[in-house]
Chain A
Amino acid sequence: SAVISQKPSRDICQRGTSLTIQCQVDSQVTMMFWYRQQPGQSLTLIATANQGSEATYESGFVIDKFPISRPNLTFSTLTVSNMSPEDSSIYLCSVVWDRGPDTQYFGPGTRLTVL
């Protein structure tokens, strides 16, 4: 499976600021996703990060709040914009590796606290 890293691993931010989270994979992957996991909750898909084009967002998530980039097959960023305490969550990237057409592998997550 691919090795997935995320930066930062955690951060504490002030209300109204923005944070960009990076996801780096050590090999080319076919698909990359971003999830949110609110405290004590399950995982909710934010969007599919498309290489070279705009991300595909799920219902309830918009590009202005969660802009996503994916400039190549191994890297993606998620920005959480104009943050409020309700954005305090773990943000996870996942990938579908070329060798496994279905299986999603997750990064270690970024734990965000907004004050």
Chain B
Amino acid sequence: GENVEQHPSTLSVQEGDSAVIKCTYSDSASNYFPWYKQELGKGPQLIIDIRSNVGEKKDQRIAVTLNKTAKHFSLHITETQPEDSAVYFCAARLYSSASKIIFGSGTRLSIRP
């Protein structure tokens, strides 16, 4: 079955610097890759997603890249701000899974003032 690995588990960056979180997936049939942000005491919030027919997608300070050959995708946050501090999860969906997605283990991002 599909397996999603996420690194690093914790990440601390200086405010204003960039943060990068990386994920790999095992099943080449995966075709949809969302990223979620979870703040303390809240449910995960979708922040960006990418489909397998696209290599990169940007939304203001966040971007996601996808390398289908290597089966890995990454989240990039530029000009980090204190409100970016949260746990981030990557996920992957199998083409045939009827919307079922598999989550990575999560990255706790801390922004140092």
Contacts and interface: CB of A to CB of B under 8 A. Distances in A.
Interface range for B:
20 to 34
A13 interface: no
Contacts of B42: 108-109
Q: Is the interface of A mostly helix, strand, loop or mixed?
A: strand
Nearest to B36: A106
B44 to A, nearest CB: 5
A43 B46 contact: no
Given A42-B89, A42-B106, A43-B89, A104 B43 contact: no
Contacts, number: 48
B72 to A, nearest CB: 18
Interface string A11-27: 00000000000000000
A45 B100 contact: yes
B12 interface: no
Interface residues of A, number: 22
B32 A102 contact: yes
Interface string B13-30: 000000000000000000
Interface of A: 4, 30-31, 33, 41-45, 48, 92, 96, 101-109, 111
Interface of B: 32, 34, 36, 41-46, 49, 51, 89, 93, 98-101, 103-106
